[in-house]
Amino acid sequence: MSWQVWLGFLGASWVISLSPGAGAIASMSSGLRHGLRRGYWNILGLQLGLLLQVMIVAAGVGALLASSAVAFTVVKWFGVAYLVYLGIRQWRSAPAEVEPDADPGKPSGSALGIVARGFLVNAGNPKAVVFMLAVLPQFLDPGAPLLPQYTIIAVTMICVDVIVMTGYTGLAARVLTFLRSPRQQRVTNRVFSGLFFAAAGFLSLVRRAATV
């Protein structure tokens, strides 16, 4: 992969990561619930999901998701159900006195659970896989070994996404320091719950739009 091609892909990676989506919502929600330091566990999960998406495309399974209505629908509705679950969980979150990163000895959730949550957000989004299937080949040289090229692509996307999701998480964690009253926290939880429900709604329409 030449420098010119890589720079083009780097720009595309920034556009992809900055675009509002389930990952950004999950990062902001994690920042509100856990603060920035523990929010990195969610970011790790998101990146594992992103790596899985790249591996799926590299293995050619992305073509199956793009061509098979059954496979696409199964993954899609899993993603919709999980986003709805996150929305319900966010809505039901009880107000609490929260000081992000103030007491590392009192974690607000298991690291493994936070990682799994982030992973499932990205792993349950077939739209992202199909999108990558359409975009990534434009930056590949079919006459050169593909493994090194996919490795560069994966590392680039993950590095950019870590920076962007850290920004989303840190912004939400900073906002949390101003949410002192139970009423403010309930309103915030319900706003993010609505965002998760909206993301689920958009994802549920993906196949319908793709068949037009």
- Tell me what the mean pLDDT of segment 3-31 comes to: 81
158-187 burial: b if 16+ Cβ within 10 Å, else e? bebbbebbbbbbbebbeebeebeeeeebee
**Residue 125 burial (CB < 10 Å; 0-12/13-18/19+)?**
buried
Look over the chain and give the mean of its residue pLDDT values, rounded to a whole number: 75
User: Does residue 170 have a pLDDT over 50?
Assistant: yes
Q: Domain for residue 27, yes or no?
A: no
Whether this prediction's pTM lies above 0.75 is answered by: no
Position 62 scores a pLDDT of 55
Report the number of distinct structural domains present in the chain.
1
Say what the pLDDT of residue 212 is.
34
Per-residue pLDDT averaged across 171-186, rounded? 70
- Residues spanned by the domain of 83: 54-136+145-210
Tell me the pLDDT tens digit for each residue of 43-101: 999 999 999 988 888 887 656 655 667 766 777 777 678 778 777 877 776 655 544 44
In a domain? residue 44: no
Q: Residue 117 domain-assigned?
A: yes
pLDDT at residue number 145: 81
Classify residue 23: in a domain, yes or no.
no
What proportion of the chain, given as a percentage, has pLDDT over 70?
Answer: 72
Question: Does any domain span residue 49?
Answer: no
What is the pLDDT averaged over residues 159-179?
A: 83
Segment 106-153, tens digit of pLDDT: 455 688 888 998 898 888 777 677 677 767 777 777 778 878 888 998
Between 204 and 88, the more confident residue is 88
Residues in the chain: 212
Mean pLDDT of 24-32: 84
Q: What is the pLDDT of residue 178?
A: 65
**Residue 163 belongs to a domain:** yes
In-domain check, residue 181: yes
Can you tell me whether residue 76 is helix, strand or coil? helix
CA quadruple 12, 114, 36, 98: dihedral sign: positive
Establish if 12 belongs to a structural domain: no
